[in-house]
Amino acid sequence: MTSTDAPAPAAPGGRRAVFVDRDGTLNPDLHYLSDAARVEVFRGVGEGVRLLREHGYLVICVTNQSGVERGFYTDADVVAIHERIERLLAPSGAAIDRFYYCPHAPETHCRCRKPGTELFERAARDFGIEFAASAIVGDRSLDVEAGERLGLLTALVPPPGHEAEAAAELRERQSVPDFVAPSFRAAALHILHRG
């Protein structure tokens, strides 16, 4: 995506959504994870997702999964991991409305890899989402940058123990989230407080 490309706007008066990253945000980032049995979700994620949905937000996961193109795992592995996340969220009464993922490596220069916005635009078309009323929660500057391009409220939740690394990446890429939260649940509560 070039700087002159504008994202396709969602229809005014559309639905609200919270876009969420996967690895490092919903679950620990185990780097090129292919085994769904190893997936766990962070404490408080289930409650945060449930609260968002109870207050009328769609929860849409958008994730970069370059391991598919690199040959580290398959599309079927990605689907199995998403099914595992759904099973782990279910006891909290929570669910992800849909998962979207980019299978490409960075050198492919696709529009669907964050901070590209193609997957967000696809979700907006699929669900009638209004970006101005929506938010994104992620652990990397790529999430913040994608949110900035779309006019989303941007929340950064650094993984435990990686706060300094996340801050340095933001400085390097000159990204500034609207707020930083200590946990996914705290980010969800902040979004709900905004209304």
* Per-domain residue ranges of the chain: 19-194
pLDDT of residue 157: 96
Give pLDDT tens digits for 64-116. 999 999 999 999 999 999 999 999 999 999 999 999 999 999 999 999 999 99
Look up the pTM and report it. Answer: 0.90
C-alpha 29, offset from chain centre: 13
Q: Identify the segments of the chain with pLDDT beneath 70.
A: 1-13, 195
Percentage of the chain surpassing pLDDT 70? 93
Q: Within 10 A of 55 (CB to CB), how many other CB atoms are there?
A: 13
The residue type of 13 is G
pLDDT of residue 195: 65
Catalytic residues: 21, 23
pLDDT of residue 2: 31
pLDDT of residue 135: 98
What is residue 154's DSSP assignment?
A: E
Vertex 184, ends 152 and 81: CA angle to 5°?
95
pLDDT of residue 7: 40
Domain 19-194 has CATH 3.40.50.1000: yes
Assigned token pair, 45? 């994620």
Give the containing element (helix H, strand E) for 62. strand 58-64
